[in-house]
Amino acid sequence: MPTLAAAVLGALSACGVLPGGEPTAGQARAAGAAERQEVHAGEAAAGPLPRRPPGLGPRTLAEIPREAGQVVLVRGEGPDSSDSSVVLYERTAAGWRAGASWPAHNALRGWTADHHEGDLRSPMGVFTLSDAGGRLPDPGSKLPYHRSDAFTADGTGFEGEPLAGAFDYVVAIDYNRSPGVSPLDATRPLGVDRGGGIWLHVDHGGPTHGCVTLAEEHMRLLLRRLDPARHPVIVMGDAASLSR
């Protein structure tokens, strides 16, 4: 099965304006307040903020760049599971502040530390987040946003679910890609055999070929929150592996 980036370019065979028009100033303020409440849902937890994102072992923590001020933590339910959760952690002077936990999907066969094209597993590791894009207009992304009608997914997924709209919003995960270009760019520095086109994108209700997917509203929240000035990274893998 082609990578998701190749899929957008036309090789995928399986895998704007938001409704209601422009918001009023009052609606925008209300939406912003709701966004802050959801993104910062973890602040209400009792006790001091953790000194590091929880659940990560020394090997995983050593891979997180010292300058990283935002961590998108994708914790898989098991090494062979396609179900996972996503939490955005942000570094503050008092520690790491957790956002809400969002349900997510990853690859059909789970996770791997040695990803190859077509293995139907998501690559584990720590990767930078440099570029975003999608079929729909920029929702307020701080990352460079590459809008294109080429972000189109057709056909159905592994469980028969339609893939339409899956690439309305995407964030490229810097696995085997050149940062600073559109997520559609097909350059593979490690070679084509190592796969690529690994993105965060809109959930279609089932497992992926290698990407991580979130509900559309959560993708919009993430796009507005990720800040290149804070050197965001994604930490992804099954829970047991990340704890090592």
The domain locations on the chain are 4-242
- Specify the pLDDT at position 40: 52
C-alpha triplet 22, 26, 32: angle, nearest 5°: 85
- Specify the pLDDT at position 11: 30
| Cα atoms found within 13 Å of the Cα of residue 177, Cβ hemisphere only | 26
pLDDT by position in tens, the chain (length 244): 334 344 343 333 223 222 333 444 454 454 555 555 555 554 444 579 999 999 999 999 999 999 999 999 999 999 999 999 999 999 999 999 999 999 999 999 999 999 999 999 999 999 999 999 999 999 999 999 999 999 999 999 999 999 999 999 999 999 999 999 999 999 999 999 999 999 999 999 999 999 999 999 999 999 999 999 999 999 999 999 999 9
Please give the Cα distance from 168 to 137 (Å, whole number).
Answer: 9
- Specify the pLDDT at position 47: 74
- Specify the pLDDT at position 195: 97
Residue 108 host element (H or E) = none
- Specify the pLDDT at position 144: 98
Please give the Cα distance from 196 to 174 (Å, whole number).
Answer: 9
Please give the Cα distance from 197 to 171 (Å, whole number).
Answer: 10
Count of beta carbons in the 10 Å neighbourhood of residue 65: 10
- Specify the pLDDT at position 39: 53
- Specify the pLDDT at position 154: 93
Strands 70-76 and 83-92: antiparallel
- Specify the pLDDT at position 46: 52
| Cα atoms found within 13 Å of the Cα of residue 152, Cβ hemisphere only | 8
- Specify the pLDDT at position 1: 36
